[in-house]
Amino acid sequence: RVIPFFSCGAKLPILTAIAGAIVYQLGISNAELITLGMYLLGIVVAICTVILMRSTTMRGEVPPFIMELPAYHAPRFQSLMVHLWDKLKHYVKKAFTIILVSTILVWFLSHFSWSWQYLEDEQMNLSILANLGMLIQPIFTPLGFGSQLQTYGWIFAVAAINGLIAKENVISTFGTIATCLALTLPTGEFAEGVPEAIAMANATGITVPAMISFIAFNMLTIPCFAACATAKAELPKGKFKWTLLFWLATSYTVSMMIYLIGSWWWTCFIFAALIAVAIVGIVIWNKKHPVKEQDVAETVSEALAEAAATEERK
């Protein structure tokens, strides 16, 4: 449940693009520090959520994890090529299905109205995509990229929702809309996606705390469809929907804290008080509802028996 909090390669373009836009607006360098900070944020959130779950929903003794280690051999060229082909095939399939279809859909919805009339680029605010974005835009207001933004503020809301399908869609959404709107892109040497992110920031008037909040939301929220499918297969029956809500709630809360504290520093005392109250409440609840001792020896014997049965089947 906490693995998606660790940044993967698909999230890197979001980090580099938004971090580049932040340092461009502030006129500073070292965008790498922002990227590193977001990586560390994911690690800290993962550790905190594990501590929270161990104190609430997953209390008690932890059953031992027994896994048979495979025999270690020097890597073979054929095995490396098979592994490389598997990864390449997965990426190509993802790029030519989910990402491509999403990009085409964004372009289509941004150029047609509800009456299916084709719209010019300057009429994009009348498009289906703009209307849908404006509809969900208030949801992200506490995160800084909602109703408080200017004319094209709905773009960040659309990009965030589109990123739930595949994280690569976030920057591709910026690129598609920036091209359609013919926004002025900064000149110079930038990493991929940075000019589009800068253009979106200039067009919407988004603040630096809101951009950091936008990064955090995409880093911590529901991962791509492929990761969700894997999680659904691994989690016990009935737990997947609660895991999705857990990811959404965590990303929303952390992003809101980042934006509010970054915009009004004194709100950190409010969040500190709320966290303290929550900790006290959990401690009191655990004392009133102690966990019954588990028979660890029986759990170990069952695990050993299962491992032995697996070995016999091999």
Q: Per-residue pLDDT tens for 278-288?
A: 989 988 888 88
Name residues whose C-beta falls within 8 Å of residue 274's C-beta, 6 or more positions apart in sequence.
none
The residue count for the chain: 314
Which has more pLDDT, 157 or 70? 157
* Average pLDDT value over all residues in the chain: 80
User: Which amino acid is located at 239 in the chain?
Assistant: K
Examine the pLDDT at 308 and tell me if it is beyond 70. Answer: no
pLDDT band at 165 (very low <50, low <70, confident <90, very high): confident
Residue, of 125 and 247, whose pLDDT is higher: 247
pLDDT, tens digit (0-9, with 9 covering 90-100), for 81-119: 888 888 788 777 766 777 777 778 888 888 888 888 888
Q: What is the pLDDT of residue 296?
A: 46
Assessment of whether the complete model's pTM goes beyond 0.85: no
Tokens of residue 41, six digits: 């944020």
Q: Is the confidence at residue 125, as pLDDT, over 90?
A: no
pLDDT in the model for residue 71: 75
pLDDT tens digits, 32-87: 888 888 889 988 988 888 888 878 777 666 666 666 777 777 878 888 888 888 87
Q: Find the range with the poorest average confidence among 44-53, 231-240, 304-313.
A: 304-313
Q: Any alpha helices (H) in the chain, and if so which ranges?
A: 12-26, 31-55, 77-94, 100-110, 128-136, 154-162, 168-180, 194-204, 208-220, 225-234, 240-263, 267-288, 296-313
